Structure formats: structure tokens, C-alpha cells
Homo-oligomer: A and B are copies of this chain.
Amino acid sequence: MSSFAVVGTGALGGFYGGLLARSGREVHFLMRSDASFVKTHGLRIDSKLGDFHLPQVNVYDNVHEMPKCDNIILALKSTQNHLLAQLLPPLLHERSIVLVLQNGLHVEQSALDIVGPGCVAGGCCFLCSNKVGPGHIRHLDYGKILMGPYQGLGDTETGPTMSRLNALQQEMIDAGIDCHTTESLTLARWRKLMWNIPFNGLSVILNSSTNKIMGHPASRALAESIIREVRQTACDCGHSIEPEFVQFMMDHTDEMVPYDSSMRLDFLAGRPIEVESIYGNALRSADRANVDAPILRTLYRQLTFLADNRASTAI
């Protein structure tokens, strides 16, 4: 069994790290404000897979006190990626894998710039979970990870081999995580963007939950237009997605429980929102491929303005 560092122990890092620790693996958690609370009280996960409590966990608020680990799970918000030059090097040995479990497109590039080729993978997480208190995670639904080697902006870099990722996948599965691998990480990321780009952004711009957006004909039509445009952009960037996936995303969203996107929760709480990793990076990919994406560009500009002028959005 290999060792894990979890960088960023929030709703996502706490959930997956908690499952890995419960399975008996060596897991080292880096956290900020909750570190002393968790040292004393442990980590609590309420999950539809079964609640559990880990009374003794390896907790740190300083990366230099942590050991080097075989796998580094990067579960910070991507808005924190300017910290990676400090956070990653102390944790890596020669055979470490960095697994970036962040939202967006090419979010692995920051890690790749620091640690170099051969060891950076990314994963799309399909997870509904919230942090409800210090060291206390509530897992609401889903939980799948789809991970693959990160090959850089031009798909030309070397990631970890598939055999190394398949070994990591098996450890995840043994810990109870629904983990899958793909050789086409960028395609997987674009497919996930077909949900995140419409619903994260509209939930902030229209200040509404997903079911309200789906329930009004104007916003519903807009969401569907955005999904179509993201699919077309992905295809034009060389990542082919079947046309039927548009309708699948609409049906899937209709069937979801009323859900506030993490971007909306972050926005309402005054936390940074992941505009660059989701919208900015997708748009820059479109621009590199000389693809027009007018609605994506509009949403990007609206969200950038709103993120910078949050104080004035209270009516």
C-alpha cells in the first residue's frame, strides 16, 4: 500500500482522504484553520456510503513537517494554485504522482510547471459533498473519479504511465472509491465542462439554484445553448463528444436534487470563485484553436466582473 498526502482538506480532500485513511493507508492531511481541531477531535464523514469517524489522523498546518509521499492529492481550490511552488516540492520523492482533483481545464498545468513531466495526473470528480463544520464533511451524492495522465496544453507532455495510474486506481477502489482511468484526460475535462460552464456560471450570474435555472424557459434555453457551444468548442479543439451528450446533460440536470453549485456557495460566502480554471482556460483553448465561443466569452467576462465587484452586488 502506498502513502498519500492530501493538500487541501475540504469537502473533497477530506472525503477521499478519509476513505483512504479508513482503509488503513498512510494518509497525511494538510489543512489550515481546522488543523488543531482535527488533531484533537479527528475527522468526521457523514456519507450515504455509511458514516464514519477517524479519531486519530495525521494532520499538519505546515508542509515542511510532512513526510514525502507516493501520491499527492491536490484538492485545494484552483484559485490557490499560486501556492503550489511552496506546497509541492517538499512532498515529492522521485516516484511520486501528483493527482490534481480540481475543477476546470488544464488545471494541472500549474503543477506541471513546478514538478516537471512524468508525474502529473488529473482527475474529474463527480461528487456532491460539503464541509459542514471543522473536520466535518457531509457527502451527499455521487463520488466517482475519472483520472488520466496530464499531457500539457498541447497534449505533447508525458504524464505517469497508465500502469502506474492503474495501480493507483486499484488502491482507490480498495478504499471504497469509485475510481476509473482514461487515456484522454482533456476529453474527460471537456465533457465535465459541459455541466460546469453553464450551471456554475448561471447560478452566480442569475443568483439561482440549478432547479430554478432549469425551471424557467429562458434560462433553460440559455443553459442548453451553452452546453451546445461547449460541446462544439471541444470538438473544434479536437476532443470529439457525441451530439447526444447535450440532451444527456439536460436530462441529468433535470433529475438532480436541487443543488447549489460550489461556485455559487463560494460567491455568496465571499470566497474566490474558479473563473480562470473553468472559463478562462476553456476560452484560451478555444482561442488557441481559433474557435469562436461567444457565449462562453460573455459568461467569462460577466463572472470576472462580478468576482471583482462582489461588494456592489448586494441589492
Q: Give residues in A with beta carbon < 8 Å to B.
A: 205-208, 212-213, 216, 218-219, 221-222, 225, 268, 294-295, 297-298, 300-302, 304-306, 308-309, 312-315
The chain B residue sitting closest to A226, CB to CB, is B298
Q: Given that A294-B294, A295-B294, A295-B298 are known contacts, is A206 also in contact with B315, CB under 8 Å in the complex? A: no
**Residues of B contacting A315 with CB < 8 Å?**
207, 268, 313-315
Q: Which 7 A-B pairs have the closest CB atoms?
A: A218-B304, A222-B301, A294-B294, A219-B305, A218-B301, A218-B305, A314-B315
Tallying the copies of this chain within the complex gives 2
Docked pose: A315 CA to B301 CA in angstroms: 21
**Residues of B contacting A212 with CB < 8 Å?**
309, 312
Docked pose: A309 CA to B219 CA in angstroms: 11
The chain B residue sitting closest to A267, CB to CB, is B315
Closest chain B CB from A299 CB (angstroms) = 8
**Residues of B contacting A216 with CB < 8 Å?**
304-305, 308-309
Closest chain B CB from A311 CB (angstroms) = 11
Docked pose: A274 CA to B213 CA in angstroms: 21
Inter-chain contact A225/B297, CB cutoff 8 Å: yes
**Residues of B contacting A305 with CB < 8 Å?**
206, 208, 213, 216, 218-219, 222
**Residues of B contacting A208 with CB < 8 Å?**
305, 309, 312
